[in-house]
Structure 1
Amino acid sequence: MMLPTALFLRLASSRAFWTLRAKFRHFAFLLQRSVFNVRRQFGDGRSRTGTFVQLAVTTTRQLLAAVLLVTGLQAINPWLLDLYSQTGLKIVPDTYATLLGTVAATGGVLIGLYYAATTAIAGAIYSNVPNNVRDLLAQDRVGNIYMRFLSFTTFASIVLLGFRAAGLEPNPFAASLFVACTGISVIAFVKLGARAFYLFDPTTLSGELVENIHDAFAKIRAGQFRWNDAAFQNHAHQRARLALDTSKTLAEITSKQSQLSGQPFVTLCTQFLHLLRSYQLAKKSIPSDSRWYPKQYVHPDWYRTEDSQTSLAFRGSGRLPPKEVSDPQWVEATLLPIVHACLRKNIESSRHDLSSRLMHQFDLYVRTLSSEHEVKLALDRVTDLTSACTDLLFASPNGSAEIEPIEQIAIADAIASTPVNILLAYIDALRRAPRETIASTIVGLRWSSKADIYNLNVPKHIIPQLEWMHPRIQFETSAEGARVSPDWYLAELALQPHVQNLKDNLTVLVDDVQSLFDRWMDSCSAAKLAWVRANILTREEEYWAKMDYHFHTFREQSTTLNSNRRIEGLPWAAIDLHAIGEMISSRRRVVVRRMAEDMPALIAVNRKESYPDFAGQFLHTVGESLIEAFLKNDHNHVREVFANFFIASFIQREQISLDIADVSTTQNAATIKVSIAPILDLMSLSGYGLLLSEYHDNPTLAALIFETWNNFLDRRKAEGHDLLPLLAASISITNSAFEIAHRSIIRTQWGQQVAHLLRELPRESIADRGSFVVSRTVAVHKSPLVRVLATDQLMSLYNGIDIFIETLVRKRGDGDSVKFTTRRDLSRSLAREIQRTQSRTADTGREDTVS
């Protein structure tokens, strides 16, 4: 209350007024403070009461369950007492109460011990981690289930003890039940205690995260409860996003701790890769427009947009509105970088066994992608992995190391083999989903429910087309009373994206794989990794060989998919299989040429037995490519690889000969025979090349062989090393042996291929004059050498070495003096063939042979 101004001015001059005024205000403050404290205490009490009520509500279900269980046991107790009395056993009332008290006390002790252990673990490991990771310990399913069971048993025994205190009869069945429950609690506590030691590793609880993500996408698959409800889809997305964020945080913590970055980190990533495989298989059951996939805005290109839209945008806001698209790779975008980081960490720490284990799981994942016709996505995953670890995978060796570590080669081999596995998985998928199977599946679709689309088990790229067709067929059904579109029409519409997918995948398998191998090869060359490069070359050669071998599958798929088209004007993807086949053949020649270039350097290195013999493999592969080039008259390929093959063959002989001094006498002879095998292969191939040069009437082939051999032999002779005796000795050792010569089967196969080609020549019957007339057939060709070798028998008596001796060695000035013992003399057969031809020409006055 305010005093009048005049009175206030009169009293203000007195000290007593101010003293009284201060005391009055102090009293008012004390009164207001008391009122505030009373109100605060009342509010705190109400808050505590509310908290207690909430706590009571959360425990009501378990409390009621315990009370109902005990009540039910007491209700059936009269019937149980009669049965129990027949056993001759007796319950002592005092012991009954003591037993229940012991059960309750045991439960209380175990509860306290468990929380003491988890508190110690949380304080030691989880005190400095983010809340989402700390929540993993609180949400541990095993521990929570155990504590619920233990608390339920403890309280139920207390309730039963209270019933006994109220005067109810002892319950023998309840006593037996709770003794058994106590036994379970004690024994399980031992198991749980042993498990507690593993909780010091946070990744032990990662199974909860993986299961949460799996449960989230499983619940929005077609056919599940409210699967097509946007709210349910968004809820599943939010649950999965929370689990993914926690997984990412957990992975970051694990990677930074040395004791966790090994086995625990790999186990965590293995679980992620298993999850991604399951998720990939489940994607075909999730609608393309589901809210499970987060939405992104994509801005269209102005000059690729329709005129009506650009005109409207110019007159309005001045820019094109963005389009909302789904991101189907959002889960992979979170988990795969974790896998990349894990591989990097283990390669850096030289944990090569763990790195190999992780690569195996990654390979299974990309196979799953390929088996679902996601070939480009699978190859992109491989590209991303190698890009993330390029500096480690292609790290230059130490200056003193002649060969890269075998572990580095093994990891490179694991990565380089993934394109091969992607190819094989896709081929298997094509064989499992031919046109007839897909068409019959579409024909059997009822179209009554949208969920039917996602339960067909057809390739995922067909699903969007079916989603586009479904509302139109529904409209047709409602308008016409029934579906009138024929089955063949619907099947052909559904097959259209399948043809496009085949074309896209073939482009990836040829162009993108070729680019990927090129990048790997360039990285190896830049880092001077000869053996890693050789390993990648072997895998690339395997890839293109399998691509060539299975090419008929692509041809059959393309033929069947493009046959029996009835819808006019429907655009179909055009697949140029001829061009693709030419690209495969061309690439295989490039790979062989690279092998030929790398052979001499690889052979010169002293290889350990723990390392693959890439040099020997390359030498054999180039030899096989040479005989094929001779047969196909491909002098360009011969020009590219023959010189390197020539040099590598002699180096290989010298490398094998180095071991002769270190073996016993018996093994010495065997080693010598092995060491001359590359030279025998070289002479045999050279002979067949000279023969086929005349067969194809292509002197370029012969010129390449003559030039290489003559230059080398002349140079070595000028240096004081005449190699012709070495060649003669090599042939002599092989012919004088009683066993089959080393690699003679390979050389025989070359002869069979040549004989098969020569048998395609036209033949004519002629009569040889002698003591009596003998009729025989001879090949029609202008070359006497070809006619002699083109016998009408299964194979000729002469082989490539015979041809080499006669057409190259004997033509040299120093070749006549060299004796090749126990060889069939091809010169006599050639002379007889020439003489017979001249005789027939003289008799008939015309040329018998045809150019």
Structure 2
Amino acid sequence: MIIELKQKFSQYKLFWKIQRLYKLIKFEVAKGYYLLKEFAVKFSSMLAFIFNMFKNSLPYFVLPISIALLTQSLEAPLRPLFVNNGWIVLKDTDYSTLVATVTSISGLFIGLYYTAITSISGAIYTKLPQSLRQLLFNESIGKNYLRYLVFFTFLGILFLTQYVLGYRVNPINVPIITVLAGFAVFAFYQLGVRVLSLFEPTELSTEIFKNIHKSVKNVIPGNNNWKVPEFQKHEQSKVQSWLESIDALATLSSSERHLSGKVFLKFVDQITRFLCWYEFNKDKVPRNSEWFESKLEHPDWYKSNDSVTNRAFQFGQILQPKIVRDYRWLENELSKVLLTCLKTNLNSKNYDFAHGTLNYIKLYVEVISKKGDIAWSLKVIEKTASIATTHINLVCKKDTDQNENLTILCDEIAGLPINSFLAFRQGLELRDGIKISDFVKKKEWRRSNFIYEIPLSENTIKKLEWLSERLVFEYQIENKYITPDWYILGGVSREEELSFIKNINLFANEVGKLYQSWVANLISARRFWLASTCIIREKEFWSKFSYQRSKLSDYQNSLLAHKNNEAQWSNFELDNIFDVVEKRLNTIQDINEVVLKGLLPYSRPASLPDYHGFLLHSLGESVFEALINNDLGKVGKLYRTYVWVSFYKFSELISEKYKHTWQIENQFRIASAALVDLFDLTGYAIVISKFNKNKRLELFIQSIWEQYFNQEQSRFSQVLSTVNYFDSFPGIGNRWDHRFNWKNTINLKLSSEIDTKEIAMSKHYFDTEKVKLHNDPIVRLFARNPRDFNREGIDAFVTTILIPKLSSEDERLVNVRRDLRNDILREKEKYDKYIKSVSDAE
């Protein structure tokens, strides 16, 4: 019906006019409704904005009003007091001018501050994240100062309003407005200095770490909402946003030349101090907290329980992943900044700042190790070493490794494991068996933060969290703790022992691999100066490790004292670890020889350590130790090198030029010390070879000297002159104490291991003498009682090596006491008497 009417009226123009007018009216009505609705939305938004502004500024609105009302109420009773004491009440015009001027200056300060912040933001912060720009505008010092200015400005407006409304000039207002204005001026000076410092964006890091500190404290037991997972996740998300700002600051500092030096180092200082604080406070956060980042870890099908895999296969599902917490998520991000700073300064060859960065890394490594997380400590050391290695490779492509900066860099890197171990050893005192026992006896398990009082290992904290839940439940049910202390103490001590074993194995194995790879790579690249640094540091590490043996054993025993179930405890033997250490120390002796040979072609600059001297000394000690231990294979391997390097060291020391005679004489005395050591050690080697009846070693030593003398005719005269000069110089010679230790060791060994027999030298009863029962007279001579022993190894060297080669009257000894032939004859006669007396007695 409607359609038919529409078709009928559509034939007339009036129908179309009416329809057009209807649509126009409908559109206008809809338009008006939309505009009205938009106006309502904007008006409500404006009201909300005004309300929020009023709410945020309420303290700065109410406080000035309160002060104005208070001063006005006190005006009448206090005016006579001011007048009687000589106060001059300002005229109306003077009062209004003062208040208006001060108020306008306050408003000017607000404008200047925002102008400065806008300029800084446009010049520096345009490329930085929004969070950092927001931090700039919310900078705490400036924000608090602006609040003060707002308060002060509104107070001035209120004082002017009182004057405009016809109130008398209030004498109290003048000192109030003056003091507040003076503070605003002085504070503006301080703020100006602060604003200028904001041209360095890293200044904002102080605010960042304040916020991160606050977030960490919020998730520690005892604070509000610390148990709520959503709150923990919220705090973690907040810190993640701050980490973006830190990353942006690190990127900017590494890319801008004016920020990569002291500014970057100051930034790293703040990060390091926070990391050290966080290392000990992080353990107060429960292990299942959402504060720690979580990731999914899918289990292996064939390593899973049969019931689990059967159920998953039955329903056509994969194995459900497990949630794994990353307890190092924050340190992973922040430690990257330390490494970036090191890399940046090394690339720009700012070695002073690079060494400063390494000091911060060393501090962090020590804190980690003291806490007991050696795995993470070694990761930091490996990453640091990787950056240093890359830099060394780049520099050595164009230059030699005889570089003072590279040597210091290599020494600092190689010293990090030593710092780590010593800090670890120091930290053991904080968690030994006695400390754990005292902790358990407190029985404060209901206190939420009790189990985090002492620094324990990761697994021990998890064990305590598991135990504390059950102990609290016990107390709630029984109104007392049922679980005995010995059970708790045994469980905690066992976890700590497992952690101790893990860390000791890491030191013995992983640190050993680190040093081995460093030294091997440097030797293969023929960077012997740097290899010397590493091998010396490695020996220091193992020596200090061995020195702490008793302390480590005491710590382990303090934990084992609480052993209550042998099946659950490990059968770890600390002695096995020190066997590994001993083997590595023996290996180092062989490596020293290789490195020392590699160093010989290079002269040492005065700016570099005397690795030649140190390694030569170490080589001599290795040969002497091998002689004492009757390790003839090692003696044969190392002795030849020791001979040639000793003569090289003599030539190096004697080549220096001096003007004065006394300087030349002193120089020769110092240089001859290296050869006197060699002569002394050679004599002891001959004595020991005779003692052990090892003719092969004795012939080997003689053959080396024969070879040396036969190469040049002058060499024998040189050696003889050296001995004579050494004996002719008054006083105690250089390195006398070192050789004296050798002498005592040899005498003690021989006198204690060779049997002694007392024989009669004549018919008189008291005419007896002690005879050492050994076939060789030189051995018997060196095996005398320590009180009667006054011979040295160089005497045996002179007697067996030099004297047989004396061929002319010019070749003679200055000190005839070096010649032991008469002593040997007397020893033979005495021993023959002993043999004769034995045969007569038979």
TM-score scaled by length of structure 1: 0.92
Q: Which residue of 2 is the match for residue 836 of structure 1?
A: 830
Q: Which residue of 2 is the match for residue 685 of structure 1?
A: 681
Task: Tell whether 2:4 aligns with 1:7.
Answer: no
Amino acid in the other structure paired with 1:159? L
1:786 to 765, 779, 787: 779
- Separation of aligned partners in 2, 1:98 and 1:248: 52
Q: Which residue of 2 is the match for residue 713 of structure 1?
A: 709
806-815 or 568-577, which deviates more: 806-815
Q: Which residue of 2 is the match for residue 725 of structure 1?
A: 717
Cα displacement (A) at 1:486: 2.9
Q: Which residue of 2 is the match for residue 659 of structure 1?
A: 656
2:484 to 457, 466, 486: 486
- Separation of aligned partners in 1, 2:152 and 2:379: 55
Q: How does 1:21-60 map to 2 (within 5 A)?
A: 33=31, 36-60=34-58
Amino acid in the other structure paired with 1:321? Q
Task: Tell whether 2:687 aligns with 1:670.
Answer: no
Tell me the secondary structure at the aligned position of residue 324 of structure 1. strand
Tell me the secondary structure at the aligned position of residue 482 of structure 1. coil
Q: Is residue 772–residue 784 contact of structure 2 (8 Å, CA) maintained in 1? A: yes
Q: Which residue of 1 is the match for residue 550 of structure 2?
A: 552
Amino acid in the other structure paired with 2:349? S
Cα displacement (A) at 1:621: 1.7
Q: How does 1:714-753 map to 2 (within 5 A)?
A: 714=710, 716=711, 720-753=712-745
- Separation of aligned partners in 2, 1:459 and 1:199: 41
1:586 to 583, 587, 605: 583
Q: Is residue 450–residue 470 contact of structure 1 (8 Å, CA) maintained in 2? A: no
User: Do the aligned partners of residues 691 and 114 (structure 1) sit closer, same or farther apart at CA in structure 2, a change above 3 Å counting?
Assistant: same
Q: Is residue 781–residue 827 contact of structure 2 (8 Å, CA) maintained in 1? A: yes
- Separation of aligned partners in 2, 1:765 and 1:87: 115
Tell me the secondary structure at the aligned position of residue 845 of structure 1. helix
CA RMSD of aligned residues (A): 2.7
Q: Is residue 589–residue 637 contact of structure 1 (8 Å, CA) maintained in 2? A: no
- Separation of aligned partners in 1, 2:602 and 2:144: 63
2:574 to 568, 573, 577: 577
User: Do the aligned partners of residues 703 and 62 (structure 1) sit closer, same or farther apart at CA in structure 2, a change above 3 Å counting?
Assistant: farther
Q: Which residue of 1 is the match for residue 188 of structure 2?
A: 189
User: Do the aligned partners of residues 503 and 86 (structure 1) sit closer, same or farther apart at CA in structure 2, a change above 3 Å counting?
Assistant: farther
Q: Which residue of 1 is the match for residue 148 of structure 2?
A: 149
User: What are the ranges of 5 or more consecutive residues in structure 1 without an aligned counterpart?
Assistant: none
Tell me the secondary structure at the aligned position of residue 778 of structure 1. strand
- Separation of aligned partners in 2, 1:475 and 1:696: 73
Measured against aligned partners, the alpha-carbon deviations of 1:285-318 in whole angstroms (never above 9, x if no partner) come to 1111111112222222333333332333332344
Cα displacement (A) at 1:79: 5.4
- Separation of aligned partners in 2, 1:692 and 1:28: 122
- Separation of aligned partners in 1, 2:580 and 2:387: 29
Q: How does 1:353-368 map to 2 (within 5 A)?
A: 353-368=352-367
Cα displacement (A) at 1:18: 6.2
Cα displacement (A) at 1:328: 0.4
Q: Is residue 9–residue 15 contact of structure 2 (8 Å, CA) maintained in 1? A: no
Amino acid in the other structure paired with 1:314? F
Cα displacement (A) at 1:564: 5.5
Tell me the secondary structure at the aligned position of residue 770 of structure 2. strand
- Separation of aligned partners in 2, 1:777 and 1:509: 51
- Separation of aligned partners in 2, 1:604 and 1:82: 99
Measured against aligned partners, the alpha-carbon deviations of 1:234-291 in whole angstroms (never above 9, x if no partner) come to 2221221111122112222322222222222222222111111110011221111111
Amino acid in the other structure paired with 1:256? S
Q: Which residue of 2 is the match for residue 596 of structure 1?
A: 593
552-561 or 141-150, which deviates more: 552-561
Measured against aligned partners, the alpha-carbon deviations of 1:440-490 in whole angstroms (never above 9, x if no partner) come to 222223222332112245555532221122123234444544223332332
Q: Which residue of 1 is the match for residue 539 of structure 2?
A: 541
TM-score scaled by length of structure 2: 0.93
Tell me the secondary structure at the aligned position of residue 397 of structure 1. helix
User: Do the aligned partners of residues 37 and 415 (structure 1) sit closer, same or farther apart at CA in structure 2, a change above 3 Å counting?
Assistant: same
Q: Which residue of 2 is the match for residue 624 of structure 1?
A: 621
Q: How does 1:795-806 map to 2 (within 5 A)?
A: 796-806=789-799
Q: How does 1:48-127 map to 2 (within 5 A)?
A: 48-78=46-76, 80-81=78-79, 83-85=81-83, 87-94=85-92, 95-127=94-126
Tell me the secondary structure at the aligned position of residue 200 of structure 1. coil
- Separation of aligned partners in 2, 1:545 and 1:274: 31
User: Do the aligned partners of residues 506 and 161 (structure 1) sit closer, same or farther apart at CA in structure 2, a change above 3 Å counting?
Assistant: same
Amino acid in the other structure paired with 1:612? P
- Separation of aligned partners in 2, 1:22 and 1:342: 75
541-550 or 347-356, which deviates more: 541-550
User: Do the aligned partners of residues 682 and 109 (structure 1) sit closer, same or farther apart at CA in structure 2, a change above 3 Å counting?
Assistant: same
Q: Is residue 439–residue 491 contact of structure 1 (8 Å, CA) maintained in 2? A: yes
Q: How does 1:606-645 map to 2 (within 5 A)?
A: 606-645=603-642
- Separation of aligned partners in 2, 1:787 and 1:83: 113
User: Do the aligned partners of residues 342 and 103 (structure 1) sit closer, same or farther apart at CA in structure 2, a change above 3 Å counting?
Assistant: same
Tell me the secondary structure at the aligned position of residue 221 of structure 1. coil
Q: How does 1:443-592 map to 2 (within 5 A)?
A: 443-458=441-456, 461-563=459-561, 565=563, 567-592=564-589
User: What are the ranges of 5 or more consecutive residues in structure 2 without an aligned counterpart?
Assistant: none
Cα displacement (A) at 1:776: 2.9
Q: Is residue 635–residue 700 contact of structure 1 (8 Å, CA) maintained in 2? A: no
Cα displacement (A) at 1:705: 2.8
Cα displacement (A) at 1:17: 7.2
Task: Tell whether 2:307 aligns with 1:314.
Answer: no
Amino acid in the other structure paired with 2:5? P
- Separation of aligned partners in 2, 1:171 and 1:632: 101
- Separation of aligned partners in 2, 1:93 and 1:80: 18
User: Do the aligned partners of residues 423 and 814 (structure 1) sit closer, same or farther apart at CA in structure 2, a change above 3 Å counting?
Assistant: farther
Tell me the secondary structure at the aligned position of residue 764 of structure 1. strand
- Separation of aligned partners in 1, 2:703 and 2:611: 28
Tell me the secondary structure at the aligned position of residue 326 of structure 1. strand
Amino acid in the other structure paired with 2:260? S
- Separation of aligned partners in 2, 1:552 and 1:483: 37
Q: How does 1:157-196 map to 2 (within 5 A)?
A: 157-196=156-195
Q: Is residue 234–residue 292 contact of structure 1 (8 Å, CA) maintained in 2? A: yes
Q: Which residue of 2 is the match for residue 826 of structure 1?
A: 820
Cα displacement (A) at 1:493: 1.5
Cα displacement (A) at 1:644: 2.0
Q: Which residue of 1 is the match for residue 643 of structure 2?
A: 646
Cα displacement (A) at 1:205: 0.8
Measured against aligned partners, the alpha-carbon deviations of 1:633-686 in whole angstroms (never above 9, x if no partner) come to 2223323422222211111111112113x4432211111111211111111111
Cα displacement (A) at 1:330: 0.4
User: Do the aligned partners of residues 640 and 303 (structure 1) sit closer, same or farther apart at CA in structure 2, a change above 3 Å counting?
Assistant: farther
- Separation of aligned partners in 2, 1:652 and 1:847: 56
Measured against aligned partners, the alpha-carbon deviations of 1:134-184 in whole angstroms (never above 9, x if no partner) come to 122112111111111111111122123323433445444443233112111
- Separation of aligned partners in 1, 2:804 and 2:35: 123
- Separation of aligned partners in 1, 2:808 and 2:772: 30
Cα displacement (A) at 1:623: 1.6
Q: How does 1:121-520 map to 2 (within 5 A)?
A: 121-399=120-398, 401-458=399-456, 461-520=459-518
Amino acid in the other structure paired with 1:779? K
Q: Is residue 531–residue 595 contact of structure 2 (8 Å, CA) maintained in 1? A: no
- Separation of aligned partners in 1, 2:343 and 2:637: 39
- Separation of aligned partners in 1, 2:592 and 2:641: 9
Measured against aligned partners, the alpha-carbon deviations of 1:100-153 in whole angstroms (never above 9, x if no partner) come to 222211110111111111111111112232212212211211111111111111
Amino acid in the other structure paired with 1:800? G
Tell me the secondary structure at the aligned position of residue 198 of structure 2. helix
Tell me the secondary structure at the aligned position of residue 758 of structure 2. strand
User: Do the aligned partners of residues 764 and 488 (structure 1) sit closer, same or farther apart at CA in structure 2, a change above 3 Å counting?
Assistant: farther
2:839 to 810, 826, 845: 845
